[in-house]
A = this chain, B = another copy of it.
């Protein structure tokens, strides 16, 4: 099974954070070319991760670039105060993110909400599009009358291949060519390797959307290479594979037995000696042939997706327009 270490996963890992955890758990040491910085405040854990070298990118299986992740376990409790705090913090980090990668205050933005209206855990993108404030048409139709403190923002939900018959990246490419935005912000629902990150985590990345990432069946990405403008990806894990629930739990069992000084080799057998990735391969080998490796989502997904969609829409409104801040942002979302 040694080869697995070299080619660390056959499933796309959507969160850079999880890729790092997984690779480091295998090798037991930090990945060269990858830096990370963690801070925590108000129950919100923020990890800033940078993949600086090609070597780091290969090791991690993620593109070179910046990744900022907000983890908020409390989001599950449907606490509206906490939701407001997360929207504010997200806005702050997103604003800084835009600055750091050189997106100016008047750069024209196209927000792309990937995913499928009719599949609740995949509806995050369309929900954000519906709740975000668009202004481009005011700039087009009456440029002299737009109040200061706003920039031109447009937003589309291109649908999914099974509904449209067209790759969403092709639709976006056509719209970009006609409307000439300066930057794209693409929202997508992701798969997580950990059930507790589902609906509690937001990742911002300047790497675009890559084929095979997210929930849908993407064959082409949304990247600077394809579209000619920077693409910032905002992702929230809303689903998890049954297989990763299993391996995750085995890891937790291992930790549990270690804590109570159990002989984990005796209790868990060879399973104990595998690294997380080998274990996942094994579980997949068992589940896949009988169609049991389903993508699942928590029972309360309807409410979660609505809440986190509003957080992202509010956060985008506050970070994209100087005239909107976290005290008046609610007025701009439904």
Q: Which residues of A contact B (CB under 8 A)?
A: 73, 76, 80-81, 117-122, 129-130, 134-137, 141, 152-159, 161-167, 170-171, 173-179, 195-196, 215, 219, 239-240, 242-243, 245-246, 248-250, 252-253, 256, 265-272, 282-283, 285-287, 290-292, 294-303, 330-331
Contacts and interface: CB of A to CB of B under 8 A. Distances in A.
Given A171-B174, A297-B297, 8 more contacts: A121-B299, A129-B159, A154-B164, A155-B164, A170-B179, A246-B249, A249-B286, A297-B301
Contact of A134 (B129, B164, B196): B164
A73 B141 CA distance: 29
Contact of A129 (B119, B163, B296): B163
A165 B177 contact: no
A166 B154 contact: yes
A188 to B, nearest CB: 14
Contacts of A301: 120, 297, 301
Contact of A292 (B162, B174, B195): B195
A253 B296 CA distance: 20
The residue in A119, A287, A331 that gathers the most chain B C-beta atoms within 10 A of its C-beta is A287
Contact of A136 (B81, B121, B165, B295): B165
A242 B252 CA distance: 13
A121 B302 CA distance: 10
Residue from the set A76, A242, A299 with the largest chain B CB neighbour count within 10 Å: A299
Given A129-B163, A242-B249, A122 B268 contact: no
Given A165-B136, A270-B266, A177 B174 contact: yes
Nearest to A307: B334
A159 B176 CA distance: 16
A233 to B, nearest CB: 20
Contacts of A166: 136-137, 154, 156, 175, 179
Contacts of A248: 292
Contacts of A267: 269-271
Contact of A163 (B155, B164, B195): B155
Closest 7 CB pairs of A and B: A174-B174, A269-B269, A134-B165, A136-B165, A154-B165, A296-B296, A174-B178
8 contacts: A136-B165, A154-B165, A174-B174, A177-B178, A248-B292, A249-B292, A252-B287, A252-B290
A159 B297 CA distance: 23
A251 to B, nearest CB: 10
Nearest to A134: B165
Nearest to A249: B246
B287 A249 contact: yes
B130 A118 contact: yes
A243 B286 CA distance: 17
